[in-house]
Structure 1
Amino acid sequence: MKSTNTDTVRFDGARLRIEDIGALSRRERSAELSADPAFRRRIQAGSDFVARLLAEDGVIYGVTTGYGDSCTVVIPPELVPELPHHLYAYHGCGAGAMLSPEQTRAVLAARLASLSQGMSGVSVELLAQLEGLLKHDILPLIPSEGSVGASGDLTPLSYVAAVLCGEREVLMAGVQMPAAEALRQAGMTPLRLRPKEGLAIMNGTAVMTALACLAFERAEYLSRLATRLTAMNVVASAGNAHHFDAVLFAAKPHPGQQQAAARLRADLASEQPSRNSERLQDRYSLRCAPHVIGVLEDSLPFLRQLIENELNSANDNPLIDPDGERVLHGGHFYGGHIAMAMDTLKTAVANIADLLDRQLALLVDTRFNHGLPSNLSGATGPRAAINHGLKALQISVSAWTAEALKQTMPASVFSRSTECHNQDKVSMGTIAARDCLRVLELVEQVGAAMLIAARQGVALRRRIQPDLVLGAPLAAMQAELEDRIPLLVEDRALDKELQALIAAIRERSWSLYEQA
């Protein structure tokens, strides 16, 4: 999976993890195509087999025939070399926002991982060209819209194929330029795709899988952040820490739910139950937080399996068996597993936003926050009348939460018959992945707002309970938040602080519990 040099991710057909793709996307590690002779012989064997079939007048879909519904169209032998270039040319019809640099690097890595399985009939030179794009950070400008998720991510991946051949536009060192110029600056030569290679690049699930890898990492972090925020909100609202008792959670043994409760127990170790003896039970958004967060925690191992199996698969069509020397026609470009993973993940994550939104609604309301000032305003005396605390922030959190919840309509059920009914059942996996990323973006905004609220709420609780003792994890978190965010006393715009906190969440600035 990895070389002995931890600064590289080695592509040799061995299994990669989600974290490998994430590290490559952030340029924390570099890509290395294996130089192992056995690996390279296997790759070359597939390419040689395709060449031999062509020389012997073999019929290969997408090599000696047209594509999709045009598979009955026989390509004259003298035109076969042109076919791969026609494939990426006519698929150059993407629209929408361009993938970000991080997303684009992940796409390149996911496609290289699949082709390195050695069942796509491509040359070592093609793999090296993909490696070169990653090493020199030559990033194809890939429109995010236009894929139905079968036959794979055809349209967005056409932009990768074109760039390998020196066509279309790229970003290099943050500057947009023609692909041919970027390759020249990197000392690379544009490819002339061999038969089957255009299909091998484009007919796969690399875009949806790449986005899924990035979504998974963000969701995993948000789960831990939501747990820490819940602990702080229990403190701020003088809640009952005994709701997270180990014996209680042993009675309902969902592992992720138990883990969330254990994390809350660790955070609240120095806390006492509520001083209000009449309030034995907090409202659900606090008491049932492990049950909400636990759904996400328990989903993550299953979703990891789906995403990593797709990442480590040969997923174009047809596949080339270099050992048995067979051409295998199938449908591995179908992105149903990624579609299901992303539809599931976005629902679990949106529920985290809903949980935090409800916690904030309690914290700002004097009917439910057990002695805290209205809207968590820090103003006192006569000036309290003209200050509004987090009133507007709570409205924004509700807006972001509502939008996240609205986005949870599953994409996978919206299959459309396309391409003259050849692609008559499609996955919509890339749309599901894009939807999931949008939900994550919104929930990260909610999380940033809740960091402001938690910082404010704990500080205001200390006014009421000067002897309040925080456990070490919460004390450290509160101290850092106080360094970042001044106590809100007089009304002020919070947008700059909010944006800085959103960025900090996306950079995973806080070490929260054990790392995955």
Structure 2
Amino acid sequence: MTRILTPGQVTLADLEAIYWDGTPVRLDPSAHAGIDRSAARIAEVAAGDAPVYGVNTGFGKLASIRIDRADVATLQRNLILSHCCGVGDPLPEAVVRLILTLKLLSLGRGASGVRRSLVDLIEGMLQKGVLPVIPEKGSVGASGDLAPLAHMTAVMLGHGEAMVHGRRLPGAEALRSVGLEPMALQAKEGLALINGTQVSTALALVGLFRAVRALKTAIVTGALSTDAAMGSTAPFLAEIHTLRGHAGQIEVAAALRALMDGSGIRASHSENDERVQDPYCLRCQPQVDGACLDVLRQAARTLEIEANAATDNPLVLSDGQVVSGGNFHAEPVALAADMIALAVAEIGAIAQRRIALLVDPALSYGLPGFLTPKPGLNSGLMIAEVTTAALMSENKQMAHPASIDSTPTSANQEDHVSMACHGARRLLPMTQNLFWILGVEAMMGAQGVELRAPHETSPRLLAVKAAIRARIAPLAEDRFMGDDMAAGGDIVAGGALIAAAGAEILPGLVA
């Protein structure tokens, strides 16, 4: 079913459904009048003699060069082809779908001066599954995501390449294979398509959606690990967290209480347990994961605003002025991406310490070394823990802020840039690393609670364990582990543990 989007009013829930489910979209017809009005204004400017940036002038450092009226269309075509300078692997198709959607929303604000036929073509590409091949590298996140958006636009002109239902085709062939035709750009349209933050924003949104899924899963696997280690639930008591007052912390503690409610493991040993306090990786889960939740919510607010924004240049204002500004500068997105990266690194860091605790007989309160029933003859989950340490360390290295790494470009015309695009793009490998870390924790937590038999964990965590065991068998003796490691990551990425635990008890992005 097609999702109808109203520019300026699109929610994170809309965007998340488009990303995960591939829902096709179309603009609400209420946007058409504004699009037509701004297009008419640009046509009027193009027919006049006054210089207007990007309409009848060159671009960037070449803005002082006037363009003849007869060459205005050629100017836009040349802009796109000359800016197709991206390199690297293609962006994932789900990301490209979101990029096209965000560009549609930006143009739908009625401030870009493009014709409705151009908007119709983007809608048609989304409806019929024509997804441009966009190289992942080449944007510095200011003056727009120029190179990647040029590769997107090139397909609309019949150049470049696109994926169509699993086939990689030349741009013109890709369009015609689904009954669409390439188009020629008119005044300002090329600039409207490549000046904008849509690639950076789409990548940051994808990083956000994946980070939230990982955080919810980390609360589930953290509860499983806590029970496997016979950790105390006292640090999760509600009053402790209300005395501090942070919303995320309060919600994570509540989720942990709900997940562990009814467990017989801790209760079976509480009278003889000489421990006074658990290590921080168990005890401080609400404080750490709750802080990460609060940070993700702040980033989410920024990205929801940006997803609804008009970010090209110049813009057609409500009074008819065509004015150059700087909405293409992606600093808000860059800072949001840095925040998400920090949260992803921290979620993985504390999860990895829980993993390390479970395999260490000095800390795991009676569990066998490396969670194997026959340690020595078997290494058990020894190297699975080592792999998570490698992944955690890689994420810490990638979490260095990208937004502070400005460098001048374009002959110093663009003398401060955001680096939002690669700051957001790194969130994809970072969240994949986190999925693998949490997959290992899930595997170890399931093994740990089973080793506590005949005592059983809580009803919710039994359901979680069943979801794990549907893909990963108990580890009785050493076996080839690569398949289990991959399955663990897939279980987390697909959200299976969230569903098994009961998604309603886990915090979301709405404060």
TM-score relative to the length of structure 2: 0.95
Distance 2:14 2:422 in 1: 23
Aligned counterpart, 1:478: 465
Distance 2:467 2:156 in 1: 46
Aligned counterpart, 1:31: 25
Flag the 1:349–1:275 CA change in 2: closer, same or farther, 3 A.
farther
Aligned counterpart, 2:9: 15
Report the Cα offset of residue 275 of structure 1: 4.2
Flag the 1:309–1:14 CA change in 2: closer, same or farther, 3 A.
closer
Distance 2:298 2:18 in 1: 23
Q: Please give the residue correspondences for 1:386-401 in structure 2 after superposition, counting only pairs within 5 Å.
A: 386-401=377-392
Distance 1:117 1:276 in 2: 66
Alpha carbons 2:214, 2:493 under 8 Å: kept: no
Aligned counterpart, 1:296: 292
Report the secondary structure of 1:176's partner residue: strand
Report the Cα offset of residue 479 of structure 1: 2.0
Aligned counterpart, 1:442: 433
1:475 maps to amino acid: L
Alpha carbons 2:22, 2:94 under 8 Å: kept: no
Distance 2:217 2:183 in 1: 45
- Deviations 1:129-181 (Å, cap 9, x if unpaired)? 11111111111110010000001100000011111111111111111111111
1:405 has 2:388 as partner: no
Aligned counterpart, 2:353: 358
Aligned counterpart, 2:66: 74
Distance 2:373 2:58 in 1: 70
- Deviations 1:364-412 (Å, cap 9, x if unpaired)? 0111111100000133xxxx43211101101101000000111111000
Distance 2:98 2:166 in 1: 17
Alpha carbons 2:161, 2:174 under 8 Å: kept: no
Flag the 1:408–1:281 CA change in 2: closer, same or farther, 3 A.
same
Alpha carbons 2:468, 2:491 under 8 Å: kept: no
Alpha carbons 2:471, 2:487 under 8 Å: kept: no
2:215 corresponds, among 207, 219, 223, to 223
Report the Cα offset of residue 276 of structure 1: 4.0
Distance 1:327 1:494 in 2: 61
2:279 maps to amino acid: R
1:347 has 2:338 as partner: no
Q: Please give the residue correspondences for 1:127-146 in structure 2 after superposition, counting only pairs within 5 Å.
A: 127-146=119-138
Aligned counterpart, 2:186: 194
Alpha carbons 2:144, 2:328 under 8 Å: kept: yes
Q: Which runs of 5+ in 1 are unaligned?
A: 1-6
1:47 has 2:47 as partner: no
Distance 1:26 1:475 in 2: 27
Alpha carbons 1:46, 1:120 under 8 Å: kept: yes
Q: Which runs of 5+ in 2 are unaligned?
A: none
Alpha carbons 2:472, 2:488 under 8 Å: kept: no
- Deviations 1:6-59 (Å, cap 9, x if unpaired)? x332233241122322322344421113334xx312211100111111222232
- Deviations 1:298-330 (Å, cap 9, x if unpaired)? 112211110011000000111012x31111210
Distance 2:481 2:125 in 1: 40
Aligned counterpart, 1:421: 412
Q: Please give the residue correspondences for 1:305-316 in structure 2 after superposition, counting only pairs within 5 Å.
A: 305-316=301-312
Distance 1:151 1:275 in 2: 65
Alpha carbons 1:353, 1:443 under 8 Å: kept: yes
1:335 maps to amino acid: A
Report the secondary structure of 1:177's partner residue: strand
Alpha carbons 1:21, 1:210 under 8 Å: kept: no
Flag the 1:196–1:275 CA change in 2: closer, same or farther, 3 A.
farther
Distance 1:312 1:439 in 2: 26
1:240 corresponds, among 232, 235, 255, to 232
Alpha carbons 2:16, 2:209 under 8 Å: kept: yes
2:351 maps to amino acid: L
Aligned counterpart, 1:121: 113
Report the secondary structure of 1:378's partner residue: coil
Report the secondary structure of 1:488's partner residue: coil
1:442 maps to amino acid: N
Flag the 1:104–1:242 CA change in 2: closer, same or farther, 3 A.
same
Distance 1:161 1:33 in 2: 19
Q: Please give the residue correspondences for 1:109-188 in structure 2 after superposition, counting only pairs within 5 Å.
A: 109-188=101-180
Aligned counterpart, 1:492: 479
Distance 2:426 2:251 in 1: 28
Report the Cα offset of residue 225 of structure 1: 0.8
Alpha carbons 1:33, 1:128 under 8 Å: kept: no
Report the Cα offset of residue 221 of structure 1: 1.2
Flag the 1:148–1:275 CA change in 2: closer, same or farther, 3 A.
farther
Q: Aligned residues, how many? A: 499
Distance 1:127 1:148 in 2: 26
Report the Cα offset of residue 332 of structure 1: 0.1
- Deviations 1:422-472 (Å, cap 9, x if unpaired)? 10000100111012222111111101111111111111122xxx2x24222
Distance 1:331 1:41 in 2: 25
1:48 maps to amino acid: A
Report the secondary structure of 1:72's partner residue: coil
Alpha carbons 1:153, 1:204 under 8 Å: kept: yes
Alpha carbons 1:378, 1:487 under 8 Å: kept: no
2:371 maps to amino acid: L
Alpha carbons 1:13, 1:118 under 8 Å: kept: no
Distance 1:277 1:508 in 2: 35
Report the Cα offset of residue 504 of structure 1: 2.7
Aligned counterpart, 1:372: 367
Q: Alignment RMSD, CA only?
A: 1.4
Alpha carbons 2:449, 2:457 under 8 Å: kept: no
1:503 corresponds, among 483, 486, 490, to 490
Aligned counterpart, 1:64: 56
Flag the 1:275–1:219 CA change in 2: closer, same or farther, 3 A.
farther
Task: State which drifts further: 428-437 or 268-277.
Answer: 268-277
Aligned counterpart, 1:3: none
Distance 2:495 2:290 in 1: 20
